[in-house]
Structure 1
Amino acid sequence: MAIVKVGLLTIGQSPREDVVPEMKPFFLPQIQVLEKGLLDDLSPEEIRRLKPKTGEIPLVTRLRKGSSVQLSEKKISSLLPEAINSMKTKMKVKMVGVLCTNDFQKTEFPPWSIFPFNSLKFLITRIIDIKRLGVVVPLEGQIDAAKKKWKKDKIIVEVKSPYARGKSWEEIAQNFSPKKVEIVILDCMGYKIKDKRALQKLLSVPVLLPRIVLAFAIDQHL
């Protein structure tokens, strides 16, 4: 069986020891994972320049030593195409999976790049017929963007960062339950399998975890 190189590109710093090990069991056996981070070669000052300004959509990601950082969606969008092409040419990967759930559709990307948002959107618009969608995002500043990008009849958004202390999953479930959400999206690559299981047990509805969805999407593109 021939080895197939697949790149995983984080908008933070690699390696993503909090994400990739949970994805690997879902990959086909011939896949060899190579990681790269958008911030790998940047100094602390250069990273600070990527922080969102007032009015810009914030993204949040993890740095190599475990801390988190907020970044400007607009600035990250402009950096991604070159990073994806670089992985293709320098690492000789067949495709690149981007470890971010943001909707980057306003930017043009090469056909060998795979974004979890596209797969998640396909699931909830073409496969799963629902009207009440629950979404969990890491930041208060992402609530409006989440409502716009998922576009369902009824969207209930809760905030819980995978990188910092905040509400418990019990509190999140208590807010979702009265609104009768039919499915929940954990809208960040930082959420873990244990988070999915905890919320799913409390709500008894499907909970979509982007890291698993992305792993299956990569398998299907081989």
Structure 2
Amino acid sequence: MTARKLGTLTIGQAPRADITPVLDAHIDAAVPRRHAGVLDGLDRQAILAGFAPRPGEPVLITKLLDGTSVVIDREATEMAARAKVAALEAEGCTTVLMLCTGTFATLRCERARLIEPDHILPPAVAALAGDSQVGIIVPLAEQIDSEAGKWAALARAPLYAAASPYAGDETALRAAAQDLRQRGAGLLLMDCMGFAEGHRTAAAAASGLPVILSNALIAKLVSEVV
């Protein structure tokens, strides 16, 4: 039997102190981990040189080791992520988990199991929601259009609001949750791996609705296969 090893890849810098505790709460502690980041070893100047957003093109937001956030170009991120995924597999990872809910079309593993949240969340949320109106909280307003295509599986077109998990306070998040409730949402999804349990608690308190936390749902499902 092949020894199990979990590799995680954040689009920011590893380790992600906000995400790894969620994984550790659900995944067998005996499974070795290797955490990597697309932006590992880069300072902000190098990040801006290689990953600067382009006008009108899809973007992502992520967290750096110093606790700050950065907005980066999705295409450049995907190109860099391909090499990082290959490196994790070369290091013996039998499962590689992307720590991003963004949409990527070209990531591949030769032998390891590659788990991309954007392949899992839409059908899972559609099954959980049924005919309920889903309200989706994304980190950036620009992602409402660029990431919308992945939610075609929902029975009803989702409602959107934007609030970053890296804002430093929960004011915008609470406002977004309240807005979605007032517009008719019956269930909320936090569509970023950077949202943590504290964000879920704040959104639930503000809206009075059930809130699906992306990283918790992914961690529970991944625990079944690693």
One-letter amino acid of the structure 2 residue matched with residue 137 of structure 1: V
Counterpart of 2:206, as a letter, is L
**Any residues of structure 2 matched to 1:54-203 within 5 Å, and which?**
54-90=55-91, 92-104=92-104, 106-110=105-109, 112-151=113-152, 152=154, 153-165=156-168, 167-203=171-207
Contact 1:58 1:141 in 2 (8 A): yes
Q: Does structure 2 conserve the Cα–Cα contact (< 8 Å) formed by 1:146 and 1:157? A: no
Which residue identity does 1:8 align to in structure 2? T
Cα distance change on mapping 1:141 and 1:186 into 2, 3 Å: same
For 2:118 and 2:215, locate their aligned partners in 1 and report how far apart those are by CA, in whole Å.
Answer: 11
- List alignment gaps of at least 5 residues for structure 1: none
**How many angstroms does 1:217 deviate by?**
2.5
Structure 1 pair 50/170, CA: closer, same or farther in 2 (3 Å)?
Answer: closer
Q: Distance in 2 between matches of 1:108 and 1:79?
A: 10
Can you list the C-alpha shifts for 1:2-48, whole angstroms capped at 9, x where unaligned?
97321111111111112112321111243222211111133443311
Cα distance in 2 for partners of 1:125, 1:72 equals 28
**What TM-score comes out, normalization by structure 1 length?**
0.89
Deviation (angstroms), 1:112: 1.4
Do 2:175 and 2:206's aligned partners in 1 also have CA atoms closer than 8 Å?
no
Q: Distance in 2 between matches of 1:66 and 1:190?
A: 12
Give RMSD over aligned pairs: 2.1
Q: Which amino acid aligns with 2:159?
A: I
With 176-185 and 12-21 compared, the bigger mean Cα shift is at: 176-185
Q: Provide the residue aligned with 2:222 in structure 1.
A: 218
Q: Distance in 1 between matches of 2:219 and 2:113?
A: 14
Q: 1:18 to 1:69 in 2, by over 3 A?
A: same
The answer for the alignment partner of 1:51 in structure 2 is 52
User: For 2:100 and 2:185, how far apart are their aligned partners in 1?
Assistant: 24
Q: Is the Cα–Cα contact under 8 Å of residues 7 and 34 in structure 1 kept in the other structure?
A: yes
**How far off is 1:129 after superposition?**
1.1
Per-residue CA distance 1:95-128 (angstroms, 9 max, x = gap): 1111110011x21422611111222112123454
State the AA in 1 paired with 2:106.
T
Runs of 5+ consecutive residues of structure 2 not aligned to the other structure: none
Aligned residues: 219
Aligned position for 2:16: 16
Percent of residue pairs bearing the same amino acid type: 26
Distance in 2 (CA, whole Å) between partners of 1:195 and 1:129 is 24
Report the CA distance between 1:131 and its aligned residue: 4.5
Structure 1 CA distance, aligned partners of 2:11 and 2:224?
23
SS of 2:158's partner is: strand
Q: What one-letter code is carried by the residue in structure 2 that aligns with 1:97?
A: L
CA distance 1:93–1:206, change in 2 (3 Å): same
Change (3 A) 1:108 1:32: closer
Q: 3-state SS of the aligned residue for 2:5?
A: strand
> Partners of 2:61 and 2:173 in 1: how far apart?
20
